Structure 1
Amino acid sequence: MFDLTREFAKEQDQLDPLKTYREQFYFPQRNGRDAIYFCGNSLGLQAKNIKPAIEQELQDWKDYAVEGYWGAKNPWLYYQQYCSKPLTDLVGASQDELTVMNTLTVNLHLMMLSFYRPTKERFKVLMEAGAFPSDQYAVETQVKMHGYDPATAIVEIAPRQGEHLIREEDIFEIIAQESSSLALILLGGINYYTGQLFNMQSITEAAHRVGAVAGFDLAHVVGNVPLKLHDWNVDFAVWCSYKYLNGGPGAVGGAFVHERHARNIDQQRLGGWWGNEESTRFKMEKGFKPKSRAEGWQLSTAQVFNMVALKASLELFESAGIAALRDKSIKLTNYLEFLLKHIENIKFEIITPKNCKERGAQLSLLFHDGGKHIQQKMTDAGIIVDWREPGVIRVSPAPLYNSYGDVFHFYEIIANIDSNA
């Protein structure tokens, strides 16, 4: 299927139906040429349509001032909907189940305030050991706020001794063991460190069987792997948009609330005037009446200049299609894995699942010694990847702008790195 020649990479790029999208992004420059950028799982590249999109909003602000809320080319009153509409295909949800607001951790706290409703008997939260710190800190402080001790209220699922990945059967076993005390399951859809993609459908079903709520942090999933959040019956999910969605540094976050909750205006939440029913919003009256959709969790006016880059990037996703992107992503990552297995000069192991259906656009290379030195060598050679303590280099070819040629060039460079130099 693959071979070690440069010609193979060139041929695959010529056959790639998504090849023109690469030209619609800016690449950092290293050593007089485009960097090999495999860090879209941390920050996506800037699309070339973003600058004119920002200039449009600046012009409308200049021309209309406050009247831009209804008179701009893209009226600001509805700006969050310009982003939520194209997200429907990416996450498998109706627009009523989606909202774009705040940032990931703020949204996680807002969702937990609504869906983590502990009782004396049912108060525990199940999450993966070594989850991204934002999730750890959010859950820790939420359980403390309710008067519980994180040491007993947080149940962590970890890989077995000597393994790197969490076994699905171990998740189900803990759910069964903690069935009567479990209030919430909160997992990263993809573990940021190992790149393991969890079976969110089966985990949600297991959570509901024991009466628990199922929520997910999809920071490393949205724009990476197709989702069916509505069909899977997920209760809620949150994500950021600066990784695979290319929304820019610190860009607006997103949230999913299943329609059975979103339609319930009595669902507990924190209120804000942008979440209030639009027909009465501008009456400025007492009494919060939330919209009967996910936008009922919005607090403040849409952050136009924190959404405009995402809006522009999502136009490319709509054009390319998440199915085609996933198909290319699997091929790119499989090709990368093939090449990495022919590396002999540096020692590492790939800890991301071998099954392409259990991972996204990332391979995590675990170094037991000298990994940080190798990462610096890569940087010096024009490769941009990232390091995660205690020993992983994450390599992430994003299908919207990365090529087979990028993957092969990466292989050529690291195959000649002197790990002892």
Structure 2
Amino acid sequence: MTFQNTLEFAQQLDAADQLSKYKQEFHYPQVNGSDVIYFTGNSLGLQPKRTQKYVDEVMKDWRELAVEGHFYAEKPWWDYHERLAEGLAKVVGAQPKEISVMNTLTVNLHLLMVSFYRPTAKRFKIICEEKAFPSDQYMLQSQVRFHGLDPKEAIVEVKKRDGEHAWRTEDIIQKIDEVGEELALVLMGGVNYYNGQVLDMQTITAAGKAVGAFVGWDLAHAVGNVKLNLHDWNADFASWCSYKYMNSGPGNASGIFVHEKHLGKKDIPRFEGWWGNKKETRFLMKPEFDPIASADAWQLSNPPILSLAPYLASLELFDEVGMDALIEKQKTIVAYLEFILHEIDKQVDSTFEIITPTERGCQLSVFLHGEGRALFDYLMENGVITDWREPNVIRLAPAPFYCSYEDMYRFGQILKQGTQNK
């Protein structure tokens, strides 16, 4: 397709876009009396309009049924979380029994590390990416120290090559092979939060398994954004937050994946609680834990229903559209945004360097050479909600559910004005 940097062309793309109607399914903040151009779905997705109905249902049941809502609500609370498993399985490429929803992302990674980081005197090292998201770094360091090990010896970071902005798959594989029999775990972010790079999860998983390590993924920036096939890739586990591309609300419940080969085992190391016990025997209050033969065995307590309701509302949208259609639009709208950036770059004195490689999802990270925080502030003041990272990078994530091609054109015009507003 040959793009054009015109309003008419952008509107033609929107007219041909079968997902354009979903823009009306979301609430938008307002700046200067107009809907914003929203580029921060990689931090917090917009609220679906249908969310209110799902939350109101729970509030009504609580008001009218109180404790009986656990069993007699229209969507009984005691198995409410199970309603999310099938939809999430489609999004991440898993079997429903491999999915559960509970806690928040870093809590879940800690819990999964109990099962999948089992260091020995010989096999104790963890491979992660250089400058992983800070929460992952803190989690890994604390887990290693918990086992009496030195993070400097146990944690191996794969670095980018000098002068390059992205990791090379061959460098990751080389590091896995190099650590070899000392490697206990590979745990990386499937999509890097800073540069937006999508790692080759299938190849990396296979390499980790080949040397006898467990392999897990932090999918905070991947779920609802890129194509995943966790079951077929043979990943051992994964976890993700739900408030970015999944649009479930601030700080909301996290999802987990545990491969079926680890399910139904009583002897797997795992922190356990009442809600992971089989439903058939849960209320018999037996002293011995009897795990559910699904990822729900990793649940500790009854799930927060008011958090799950918005998640279920959002999953309804994903089920209607499907990941294939979302990814198809994502590729086109990100390509159009890239085109717009290059076109504006030709018209201004500044240089916009896109540091996101071609292996990408929704996000483009852009170095604003010759510009500073003032340009970011101008964008925000003029209705473009984006994200600033030091020293002078903005992250742009045009989520296909609620971003339009006209948004991309309008952003280009505001960006151009901002560079001239000095």
TM class by smaller structure: over 0.9
1:378 aligns with 2:401: no
- Map 1:5-404 → 2, pairs under 5 A: 5-344=6-345, 345=348, 346-353=350-357, 355=358, 358-368=359-369, 370-404=371-405
SS in 2 for 1:250: coil
Inter-partner Cα distance in structure 2 for 1:79 and 1:371: 47
Give, in angstroms, the shift of residue 372 of structure 1: 2.1
Give, in angstroms, the shift of residue 418 of structure 1: 2.8
Give, in angstroms, the shift of residue 420 of structure 1: 6.5
SS in 2 for 1:215: strand
Per-residue CA distance 1:236-279 (angstroms, 9 max, x = gap): 00000000000000100010000001232321100010001111
SS in 1 for 2:417: coil
Give ranges in structure 2 of 5+ residues lacking alignment. Answer: none
TM-score normalized by the length of structure 1: 0.98
Say if 2:85 and 2:96, in contact at 8 Å, map to a contact too.
yes
SS in 2 for 1:179: helix
TM-score normalized by the length of structure 2: 0.97
Give, in angstroms, the shift of residue 152 of structure 1: 0.8
Give, in angstroms, the shift of residue 390 of structure 1: 3.4
* Amino acid in the other structure paired with 2:352: F
Say if 1:374 and 1:419, in contact at 8 Å, map to a contact too.
no
Give, in angstroms, the shift of residue 369 of structure 1: 5.2
Inter-partner Cα distance in structure 1 for 2:336 and 2:315: 27
Give, in angstroms, the shift of residue 4 of structure 1: 1.2
Inter-partner Cα distance in structure 2 for 1:264 and 1:169: 35
Give, in angstroms, the shift of residue 395 of structure 1: 0.2
SS in 2 for 1:410: helix
Inter-partner Cα distance in structure 1 for 2:352 and 2:365: 10
* Amino acid in the other structure paired with 1:177: E
* Amino acid in the other structure paired with 1:246: N
Inter-partner Cα distance in structure 1 for 2:393 and 2:97: 39
How many residues of Structure 1 are paired with residues of Structure 2 in the alignment? 418
* Amino acid in the other structure paired with 1:400: F
SS in 1 for 2:207: helix
Say if 1:371 and 1:393, in contact at 8 Å, map to a contact too.
no
Per-residue CA distance 1:307-365 (angstroms, 9 max, x = gap): 11111111011001110000000000000001101123232310001x2xx10000001
Inter-partner Cα distance in structure 1 for 2:408 and 2:419: 19
Inter-partner Cα distance in structure 2 for 1:418 and 1:90: 39
Give, in angstroms, the shift of residue 63 of structure 1: 1.0
SS in 2 for 1:219: coil
Say if 2:115 and 2:269, in contact at 8 Å, map to a contact too.
yes
Inter-partner Cα distance in structure 2 for 1:80 and 1:92: 18
Of all paired residues, the percent bearing the same amino acid is: 50
Say if 2:173 and 2:207, in contact at 8 Å, map to a contact too.
yes
